[in-house]
A and B are shown apart, each in its own frame.
Chain A
Amino acid sequence: MKGLPYKIAGLLLILFSLTYGLWSEVPELPIIEQSIRNLFYHVSMWFAMVAMMAASFGNAIGFLSSEDMARDRRSISLAETGMFFSVLGLLTGMLWAKFTWGAWWTNDPKLNGTAITMLIYLAYFVLRNSIDDPRKRARISGVYNIFAFVMMIVFIGILPRMTDSLHPGNGGNPGFNSYDLDNRLRLVFYPAVLGWILVGTWIASLRYRIRNLEE
């Protein structure tokens, strides 16, 4: 099997975060308490999503400069996988928010920015489905992909940092790294992020290969 080492590495890294992430000592924080462990699971969904969208963006540019249809198939497969992670990130975030901030949804700029980002990417899928000619579809959606990626950076990377936000590291709030430790959290969080990115790449490659078969 091609890429077997990275597939196994990805699964093992996630497994490590699922097991050791529950065993490990975590900092004692008011209100958040044990739910700080969601850092390993909820936040890594978003990191995986951003990584998938970045790779999708890279392939969109790759297609536009080379007209290589395989690049277009990679681009859409990665965007679909990124969308999958963002849905998981949103649902897990809502659950965490309910028991930390007291509501399923707040008017936090990061939440609304994420919602807008997801709608932008939904429009990308709709746009693709509405064009029958493959080359035309690849070109138009490639350009749209660049727009969508830049908007994502603005809506979840920049704007939330410029106003008040409930999220750590945004709007003058301290980031997670200022919570005493926090090498204890990092030890699980970084492997989890890497693991999900690797498994995300794997899932995207499966979608890509199915697309190749459909050609």
Chain B
Amino acid sequence: MKKQIALFSVFAPLTAAAQNDGMMYGNEKMNVVIGVITIIFIGLGAYLFSLDRKIKKLEDEK
């Protein structure tokens, strides 16, 4: 449960930015694209970390 809360708190600044007519509307909404790229890249990074951890587990078993 704690993990899920932590996950949602990542999006808090994004939702805040969406609500106050601010940052995400700037730059002809280019910032939205940059946000999408950021999310995808963070996802890829997290995937690399999970692979790393899986391999670590196998190494420990050996």
Which A residues are CB-close (under 8 A) to B52?
1, 7, 202, 206
Which B residues are CB-close (under 8 A) to A206?
48, 51-52, 55
Give per-residue flags for B14-38: 1 if the beta carbon is below 8 A from chain A beta carbons, else 0: 0000000000000100100110011
B6 close to chain A: CB less than 8 A = no
- Count residues on chain A whose CB falls below 8 Å from chain B CBs: 17
Q: How large is the interface on B (under 10, 10 to 19, 20 to 34, 35 or more residues)?
A: 10 to 19
Give per-residue flags for A101-138: 1 if the beta carbon is below 8 A from chain B beta carbons, else 0: 00000000000000000000000000000000000000
For the A-B complex, the count of residue pairs with Cβ-Cβ distances under 8 Å equals 45
Q: B34–A202 contact, CB under 8 A? A: no
B contact patch SS: helix
Report B38 CB to chain A, min CB distance, Å.
6
Q: B48–A202 contact, CB under 8 A? A: yes
Which A residues are CB-close (under 8 A) to B55?
206, 209-210, 213
A22 close to chain B: CB less than 8 A = yes
Which B residues are CB-close (under 8 A) to A19?
34, 37-38
Which B residues are CB-close (under 8 A) to A213?
55, 58-59, 62
CA distance A206 to B52 in the complex (A): 7
A18 close to chain B: CB less than 8 A = yes
Which A residues are CB-close (under 8 A) to B30?
22-23
Q: What are 18 of the A-B contact pairs (CB < 8 Å)?
A: A1-B52, A11-B41, A14-B41, A15-B41, A15-B42, A18-B37, A19-B37, A22-B37, A202-B48, A202-B52, A203-B48, A206-B48, A206-B52, A209-B55, A209-B59, A212-B59, A213-B58, A213-B59
Interface residues in chain A, defined as those with a beta carbon under 8 Å from any beta carbon in chain B: 1, 7, 11, 14-15, 18-19, 22-23, 199, 202-203, 206, 209-210, 212-213
Interface residues in chain B, defined as those with a beta carbon under 8 Å from any beta carbon in chain A: 27, 30, 33-34, 37-38, 41-42, 45, 48-49, 51-53, 55-56, 58-59, 62
